[in-house]
Structure 1
Amino acid sequence: MADEIHTTRDPDGTTHTTTVIDREPRRGGGMGLGLILLVAIVIAGFFAFQFLANDKAESGAITEAAQKVGDAAENVGDAAQEAVK
């Protein structure tokens, strides 16, 4: 950081002082942006896992229903064979 002080005198004797302060640009905006990005990824992951869990439960229910239909069809087939005898 470099400061410069400039003093000028007018012919009537008055002086004017100007101070120039040279500051480095602030850095650290990447930290906030990174934190926001991390939070967004965590939220997206949460919703993705919720969707996958619902999909898995739905697949399990469909599999169970198909098994019950298959068992019922087998029972009907057995009953039909008994009726023919």
Structure 2
Amino acid sequence: MAEYQERPATTTTTVIEKRGGGGMTFAILLLVVVVAVAAFFLVSSETSKDNAVTSAATQVGQAASDVGDAAKDAVGSKGE
């Protein structure tokens, strides 16, 4: 038969400490703010680039119109 051994009675107390997650929450909040600021500047930069391209295209179009008018004037004055 199997022998039965009595184990000594021991009591163990386990203490579990729960620490606050404030540091992690602050880090996530800081990351969200940084991403939001970066996105704002990126969108603002893209808008500035778009406006600059539009302005340049308008100026090129106006210059082409001026050249066309000058060419018409030159042809008109030679024909007279």
Global fold match (TM > 0.5): yes
In the superposition, the TM-score normalised over structure 1's length comes to 0.68
Q: How far apart in 2 are the matches of 1:33 and 1:23?
A: 25
Tell me the secondary structure at the aligned position of residue 75 of structure 2: helix
Is the strand fraction higher in 1 or 2? Answer: 1
1:26 aligns with 2:16: no
Q: How far apart in 2 are the matches of 1:79 and 1:56?
A: 35
Larger relative contact order, structure 1 or 2 (CA cutoff 8 Å, min sep 6): 1
1:69 aligns with 2:59: no
Q: Deviations over 1:24-60 (max 9, x none)?
A: 2515232221111001000111111111111111111
Residue 75 of structure 2 aligns to which amino acid in structure 1? Answer: Q
Is the helix fraction higher in 1 or 2? Answer: 2
In the superposition, the TM-score normalised over structure 2's length comes to 0.72
Q: How far apart in 2 are the matches of 1:58 and 1:84?
A: 39
Matched with 2:32 is: 38
Tell me the secondary structure at the aligned position of residue 40 of structure 2: helix
Q: How far apart in 1 are the matches of 2:45 and 2:34?
A: 17
Matched with 1:58 is: 52
Q: How far apart in 2 are the matches of 1:25 and 1:33?
A: 19
Unaligned runs of 5+ in 2: 1-12
The alignment yields a C-alpha RMSD, in angstroms, of 1.7
The aligned length equals: 66
Of all paired residues, the percent bearing the same amino acid is 17
